[in-house]
Structure 1
C-alpha cells in the first residue's frame, strides 16, 4: 500500500515512516505541493532496483554487441548522401 506524505509532515514523523517501510512493507512517497518528490524504500528494495538496472544495462550492451556490420544495401550510401564508408580495422 502506498501512502503520500507531505515533506513537512515527514520531518516530524521520520522514525515512524522508516519503520512502516522497513517492517510494514509499506511504500511511502514524500510530496511537496501535492506532487511526488521522493520515495522511501527499504535497503532490500533498493538493492533489487540496482540489480534490475544492472540487468537492463547488461541486456542493452549484449543487444548492441550482436548487431552485425554487414555491407549496406546497394545504393543506400548515395540515397542518404554518405560520402565515407567504414571498412573496419586494417590488418598490417
Structure 2
C-alpha cells in the first residue's frame, strides 16, 4: 500500500517525500480532495512499469498480427443485406 498525502502537505515536504521514495522504497500518492492525482515512485519502479507496458504492447501486436481474414458466410451476407465484402490486395 502506498503512503497518501494531500498536495498542500506534499509541497511543504517534497524533499522528505523524495527521500522516502528513493531510500525507503516507499510509493507516495499525492491526493487532492481525497482523490489520487499523481504517484511518486523510484526510477527503478518506473523502469519496471515501462518494461511491462512494452511487453503488453508487443503482446497486442502479436495478437493482432495473427488475426486472419474470414469470409462472410453466404447466409449472413443475405441476412444482413451485405452485397460486397472486403478482399485483401492479391486475394483472388
2-structure distance, mates of 1:63, 1:82: 28
**Contact preservation (8 Å) 2:72, 2:85:** no
**Secondary structure class of the residue paired with 1:75:** helix
| Aligned residue-pair number | 91
Q: Name stretches of at least 5 consecutive residues in structure 1 with no aligned partner.
A: none
Counterpart residue number, 2:50: 50
Question: Unaligned regions of 5+ residues in structure 2, if any?
Answer: none
* Other structure's SS at 1:23 match: helix
Runs of 4+ in structure 1 displaced over 6 angstroms? none
- The answer for the alignment partner of 2:79 in structure 1 is 79
* Deviation, structure 1 residue 74: 3.1
Task: Map Cα deviations across residues 34-92 of structure 1 (whole Å, 9 max, x no partner).
Answer: 1111100111111111111111111011101101113223312222332321121137x
SS of aligned partner of 2:31: strand
Q: TM-score normalized by structure 2?
A: 0.88
Counterpart Cα distance in 2 of 1:80 and 1:60: 31
3-state SS, counterpart of residue 77 of structure 2: helix
User: How many angstroms apart in 2 are the aligned matches of 1:79 and 1:46?
Assistant: 52
Root mean square deviation of aligned Cα: 1.5
In the other structure, the counterpart of 2:21 is 21
Query: Which structure: greater helix fraction?
Result: 2
User: Structure 1 CA distance, aligned partners of 2:81 and 2:47?
Assistant: 48
